[in-house]
Amino acid sequence: MARILAIDYGLKRTGLAVTDELQIIASGLTTVHTEDLISYLKEYTSKEKTELFIIGKPKQMDNTDSESEVLIQGFLKKLASAIPEIPVKRIDERFTSKLAFQTMIDSGLKKKQRRNKALVDEISATIILQTYLYAK
């Protein structure tokens, strides 16, 4: 089997999470500057067998797309052009940032550590990936 890679796309930073090869466990991978995302993904997928990208779909409470969906659509076009062999699935990402922050509190991280937005993005990507694995 190959890995599944989740992407919590952001304007400045993008959180990434990945499964193990058996697709059982979701783990945070890293956070990258969004401008470097495509090159990072190309390099990663050239080294690690990856069968699927899971990308968060930001929704409003009334189930309409959030403002950032326009940015994600542009990214999806670039991704399909750069790495066409790996399909993409979208997962509702409502509340993942809040869940990530609560996870940081529950795990005992200090206030200073909880201000690390890159860590929040990485945990959010992990939650998106775990949500996909549960639903699979």
Mean pLDDT score, 11-29 = 96
- Give the strand pairing for 3-8 and 50-57: parallel
Mean pLDDT score, 97-105 = 64
Q: Which long-range contacts (CB under 8 A, 24 or more apart) does 73-81 make?
A: 75/9, 75/37, 78/38, 79/38, 79/41, 79/53
H or E element that contains 6: strand 3-8
CATH architecture of the region 3-135: 2-Layer Sandwich (3.30)
Q: Is the pLDDT of residue 103 over 90?
A: no
Q: Is the pLDDT of residue 104 over 90?
A: no
> What distance, in Å, lies between the first and last C-alpha atoms of the chain?
15
